[in-house]
Amino acid sequence: MTRMGPWGFWDAPILLLPIAFLVAMVLKPKPMPTAKSLWCAAVILFVLKLWYLQAAPLEACACFIKGCLQALTPCSIVAGAIFLFDCMESAHCLAWMKVQLRVITDSHPVAEVMLIGFCFAFVVEGASGFGTPAALAAPMLYSMGHPKMECVVCLLTFNTFMTIFGAVGTPVWFGIGEVLPDFGDENLMAVGFRAAVALSTCAIILVPYVVQIIVPWSELRPSLLYVMLSTASVVAPFIGLSVFNYEFPSLAAGILGLCLTTIFTLRGIGLGPHQRHVEQTSSKAWTNKGVMMSVELRRDQWETRLQMILRPVMAIPSSYLIASVYTQKMQKLLVQSNQALPHNYSN
């Protein structure tokens, strides 16, 4: 049974105090670490449930424990996203992707923003969620010579178009499904479809303006057709898949849009002329040659380690083979020498 507070209209502002406290602690000049502020907000909510909503202590404790257990689901998704990023960074996968994307786009700024900032971000958000594209794709754009702050703003704005189905639909099946457990899959898909239509409409209108945050209008205007084609290649399957599923629309639409946008880029469909980036990028940015040298160096290091591990193992059969051949030769020499000696001398 839903409990109401004694102050009527003030129920909503009072029960929003934990969220207000969390926002204030995060946005203040010296922010409190989330590891502390989240627990403080949970304790404030626990006190409000006991004091303001006058819930039974046993019920309040059960709700507190249930909330802690439910928090493990998004925490595991965030941990998986961090693990994915660290694996890609350690394996130099990101460096290889930057080289390949630079080859595909031919350093065209509009193509780089749409491929990495929009299509690739759709894939990353659909798989990991929780704003991962801003942490993954923004550094890639920055390393290609785009301004740092503009890359972050552009990626965070792009992220709003895909977040409803982020982390394989966590906002739908976890955010809405946990709050309304009897809502049903059909209603969840209806909510997802309406959200997809609204976000896709906003994307078609706003994507050119978001790209303009990084790319000047003089370079963007000749490539507007390319921007619209790339946007349509993502939002069309995004809407279509949301009719049947609320987990994979962002991920699947991002993969399909990434493939189609790559074809548009290689064929030059809708792309206008551009000036090559001749200026040196930031000192932290890697050039293609530096990236390839780093990848080659890492590969050589792994080959050297592998050889050091396998060398003793390979030495055993090699030594055995050499010893067996040497033994056979010695036996043949002994037989030949015995045959060459006189019969009576051998006796």
Is the separation of the CB atoms in 52 and 14 below 8 Å?
yes
Tokens 């040659």 found at = 289
Segment 142-161, tens digit of pLDDT: 888 889 899 999 999 998 88
Specify the pLDDT at position 140.
Answer: 85
Specify the pLDDT at position 193.
Answer: 92
Query: CB 323: neighbour CB atoms within 10 A?
Result: 10
pLDDT class for 315, splitting at 50, 70, 90?
very low
Segment 81-115, tens digit of pLDDT: 778 778 878 888 878 887 888 888 888 999 999 99
Structure tokens at 41: 């907000």
DSSP 186: H
Residue 305 vs residue 231, higher pLDDT: 231
Domain ranges of the chain: 8-70, 78-267, 294-330
Query: CB 208: neighbour CB atoms within 10 A?
Result: 18
- pLDDT surpassing 50 at residue 347: no
Residue 175 vs residue 307, higher pLDDT: 175
**Least confident interval from 1-10, 172-181, 238-247, 277-286:** 277-286
Specify the pLDDT at position 310.
Answer: 47
Distance CA 330, CA 143 (A): 66
Q: What is the value of pTM for the model shown?
A: 0.67
Specify the pLDDT at position 278.
Answer: 41
> Would the CA dihedral through 212, 215, 220, 223 be positive or negative?
negative
- pLDDT surpassing 80 at residue 335: no
Is the separation of the CB atoms in 275 and 111 below 8 Å?
no
Structure tokens at 235: 């939002």
Segment 265-291, tens digit of pLDDT: 999 888 888 765 444 344 444 455 555
**Residue 290 CB contacts under 8 Å (≥ 6 apart), including other chains:** none
DSSP 180: S
pLDDT class for 211, splitting at 50, 70, 90?
very high
Tokens 């303006």 found at = 209
Query: CB 325: neighbour CB atoms within 10 A?
Result: 10
Structure tokens at 334: 């002994």
Is the separation of the CB atoms in 240 and 165 below 8 Å?
no
Distance CA 177, CA 179 (A): 6
Distance CA 49, CA 67 (A): 13
Read out DSSP for 75-128? HHHHHHHHHHHHHHHHTTHHHHHHHHHHHHHTT-HHHHIIIIIIIIHHHHHHHT
Specify the pLDDT at position 328.
Answer: 59
Distance CA 119, CA 233 (A): 9
Residue 331 vs residue 175, higher pLDDT: 175
Distance CA 257, CA 262 (A): 8
